[in-house]
Amino acid sequence: MAGSADNWKTQIRKGYLELCILMLIRRHKKLYGFDLLEKLAMVGLDVKEGTLYPLLNRMSVDEFLSATWETENIKGHPRKFYALTKEGAKFLDEMRDEFDGMIGIFHQLRAKGALS
């Protein structure tokens, strides 16, 4: 039973995390991994580094994100900045609409006492 609940949480969190990542990148135009981790933590989403980077990698392969290497100063090391592609922006809109719909249903049900 506990295993099922954990699995459900993992699944829903994964989709939710993708949505949050795309929203944060849209707001800041471009972000690199470490920055993204900090910003997610600031809104209460603690994500492990070992989870975030593979996710960013996959979203780049899916062409929702574009990546560029930039070095802030001569002594600094290169950082991989992620920005939203056109596809990513479209996907984000779809995700947001879907999520809004789900939240609406959830609130409706809750108001009717289906959930205590």
Question: Binding to other proteins by residue 15, rule CB under 8 A?
Answer: no
* Under 8 Å between Cβ of 39 and 31: yes
CA distance 107 to 29: 32
Looking only at residues 64 through 83 of this chain, which bind other proteins when binding is defined by CB under 8 A?
69, 77-80
The interface mask with other proteins, positions 22-41, x = CB under 8 A, is ----------xxx-------
Nearer to other proteins, 8 or 69 (CB): 69
- Closest approach of Cβ 36 to other proteins, in Å? 10
DSSP-H helix ranges across the chain = 2-28, 33-42, 49-61, 86-111
Nearer to other proteins, 37 or 92 (CB): 37
CA distance 103 to 38: 26
- Closest approach of Cβ 105 to other proteins, in Å? 29
CA distance 78 to 69: 6
